[in-house]
Structure 1
Amino acid sequence: MVLYSSTTDSLNRKLQTLEHQVQQQEVKNAGLQFEIKELSRPERIIKKAKESGLTIQNAEIKKATSSKSNE
């Protein structure tokens, strides 16, 4: 009985640690998704192109999409 209790306690601690790691990763992923959206704004891309000496001639800027289904 003591062994079972000890094992259960150990597993619960590991589970809590993993849940915390998952939460941290979800926060990090959300931040990265926000950064992707900010960096891929057409206005920003045009500005960076102009800063690099490039010109845009009668073209439409379109956002490329990923083929991943969960984005």
Structure 2
Amino acid sequence: MSLWLQQTGMSRVDAVTTATMSSFVVHLCAALWVFAVASTRRAWLGIVLSTALLAALTWLARAGAGGAA
């Protein structure tokens, strides 16, 4: 997320801070999801699919940044 925010013109420090604070919301939603579903299979499915989505977005952000890490 910080890579994407930097591409939109946000300073590096602000982008990293915003991405870090946003990660707490992602972790909270993951914890709520796991305890809210009725089965372990559904919990794993939700976590795996959201992880795949975030990984794809990270890959796209790196590709847009010219491969810079």
Q: Say yes or no: TM over 0.5.
A: no
**Structure with bigger RCO (C-alpha 8 Å, 6+ apart):** 2
Q: Which one has the bigger helix percentage?
A: 2
TM-score w.r.t. structure 1 length?
0.39
Rg larger for:
1
TM-score w.r.t. structure 2 length?
0.41
